[in-house]
Amino acid sequence: MNTPSLSPWDETQARLRELADLDGVIGLAHWDQRVTMPPGGAGARASQLGLLSTIRHERLTHPRLVELAETLDPGDDPVKVAAIRSLRRAVRQATRTPARLVAALAEAEALTYNAWTEAKAKDDLTPFAGPLTGLIALVREKIDACRDGEADPYDVLLDAYDPGTTVASLDPMFTRLTAGLKDVLDRVKGLPQPPPLTGRWPLEPQRALHKRVSAALGYDYDRGRFDETVHPFSISVGHGDARLCAHLYEDDLLRGLTGTLHEAGHAMYEQGLPQRWRGLGIDVAASYGLHESQSRFWENVIGRSAAFCQLLARETNLTFPDAPVRPDQLFGALNRVEPSLVRIFADEVTYNLHIALRYRLERALLSGDLRVAELPSAWDDGMEATLGLRPTKLSEGALQDVHWSSGLFGYFPSYTLGNLYSAALRFTMEARLPTLWDDVARGDLSGALGFLRENIHDKGHLLDAPALVEEVTGPRDLVADLLQHLNQRVSEAYGV
| Sequence-distant contacts of 92-97: CB under 8 A, at least 24 apart | 93/146, 93/159, 93/160, 94/57, 94/60, 94/61, 95/61, 95/66, 96/145, 96/146, 96/148, 97/57, 97/142, 97/145, 97/146
Compute the distance between CA of residue 279 and CA of residue 258 in angstroms, rounded to an integer: 34
Compute the distance between CA of residue 174 and CA of residue 357 in angstroms, rounded to an integer: 10
Give the DSSP per-residue string, 370-422: S-GGGHHHHHHHHHHHHHS---SSGGGTTTS-STGGGT-TT-HHHHHHHHHHH
Residues designated catalytic:
263
Confidence (pLDDT) at 326: 97
Using only C-alpha atoms, the chain has a radius of gyration, in whole angstroms, of 22
Computed from CA positions of residues 160, 165, 168, 169, in that sequence, does the dihedral angle turn out positive or negative?
A: negative
Confidence (pLDDT) at 395: 94
Cβ neighbourhood burial of 57 (10 Å; 0-12, 13-18, 19+): buried
Q: What is the pLDDT of residues 369-420, one digit of tens each?
A: 999 999 999 999 999 999 999 999 999 999 999 999 999 999 999 999 999 9
Compute the distance between CA of residue 382 and CA of residue 370 in angstroms, rounded to an integer: 13
- The arrangement of secondary structure in 167-494, i.e. its CATH architecture, is Orthogonal Bundle (1.10)
Compute the distance between CA of residue 346 and CA of residue 325 in angstroms, rounded to an integer: 22
Confidence (pLDDT) at 360: 96
Give the DSSP per-residue string, 294-312: HHHIIIIIITTSHHHHHHH
Query: Quick one: which of 195, 186, 181, 197 has its CA closest to 496?
Result: 186
Residue range(s) in the chain whose domain bears CATH number 1.10.1370.30: 167-494
In the chain, what is the straight-line distance between the N-terminal and C-terminal CA atoms, in Å? 65
Q: How far is CA 270 from CA 24, 235, 239, 361, 480, in A?
A: 12, 9, 8, 30, 29
For the chain, the helix, strand and coil percentages under 3-state DSSP, each to the nearest 5: 70, 5, 30
Residue type at 188? Answer: V
Residue 236's DSSP bridge partners are: 242
Q: How many beta carbons lie within 10 A of that of residue 88, not counting itself?
A: 14
Confidence (pLDDT) at 495: 87
Q: How many beta carbons lie within 10 A of that of residue 32, not counting itself?
A: 12
Confidence (pLDDT) at 4: 64
CB 423 within 8 A of CB 484: yes
**Order of strands across the sheet that contains 241-246:** 226-228, 241-246, 233-238
Query: Quick one: which of 46, 43, 158, 156 has its CA closest to 106?
Result: 46
Q: What is the pLDDT of residues 284-323, one digit of tens each?
A: 999 999 999 999 999 999 999 999 999 999 999 999 999 9
Compute the distance between CA of residue 220 and CA of residue 212 in angstroms, rounded to an integer: 11
Contacts (Cβ under 8 Å, ≥6 apart) of 351:
343, 415, 419
Report the residue count for the chain: 496
Q: What is the dihedral of CA 255, 257, 23, 218, to 10 degrees?
A: -160
Query: Quick one: which of 216, 236, 173 has its CA closest to 21?
Result: 236
The parts of the chain modelled with pLDDT lower than 50 are none
pTM: 0.91
Query: Quick one: which of 177, 181, 174, 131 has its CA closest to 154?
Result: 174
